[in-house]
Structure 1
């Protein structure tokens, strides 16, 4: 049985490219819009790829920038210089 992970960001211009990249790279992810927040749920795991965000931003992007507009998340974190992954370790 799969269990969802999620990540939630402030809803603003800075997060638009991050959210678009996450949805593109995680086809099973579902977006939920709230007045000041965007929450993305995904079954089992969710990945944020530096290269995908950079492609949408048109500039270099450090994965640490993810934390500036991060509200909450659920799942175990595995972070490298190139990917930020949420998954439940069994």
Structure 2
């Protein structure tokens, strides 16, 4: 099974999102490149609104994440509180 991944522009605004993803996905592998940060995770990657809000200290709408998003790989499941990437079997 391939990893799922998500990549963000490397900027100050996306740093909190990346930190939150790393906190919620202990198996994450980070590839820090000059213009982007790519996060690979085996099987399932979860992005939790509550963790991002803790990182940035304000309310956060998960739709805001798309402003900084470059690409992703996996099947998307999105609610108001979580964004998940998986590969369905």
* 1:60 matched residue in structure 2: 59
Q: How far does the alpha carbon of each residue in 1:1-42 deviate from its partner, in whole angstroms, 9 at most, with x for none? A: x32000000000000000000001000001101110000000
Number of equivalent positions: 89
Q: Could you say what secondary structure the match of 1:42 adopts?
A: strand
* 1:41 matched residue in structure 2: 40
* 2:20 matched residue in structure 1: 21
Name segments (4+ residues, structure 1) moved above 4 Å.
Answer: none
For structure 1, which runs of at least 5 residues remain unmatched after alignment? none
Distance in 2 (CA, whole Å) between partners of 1:66 and 1:77 is: 14
State the Cα RMSD in Å: 0.5
TM-score (norm 2): 0.98
Q: How far does the alpha carbon of each residue in 1:31-63 deviate from its partner, in whole angstroms, 9 at most, with x for none? A: 101110000000001000000000010000000
For structure 2, which runs of at least 5 residues remain unmatched after alignment? none
* 2:30 matched residue in structure 1: 31
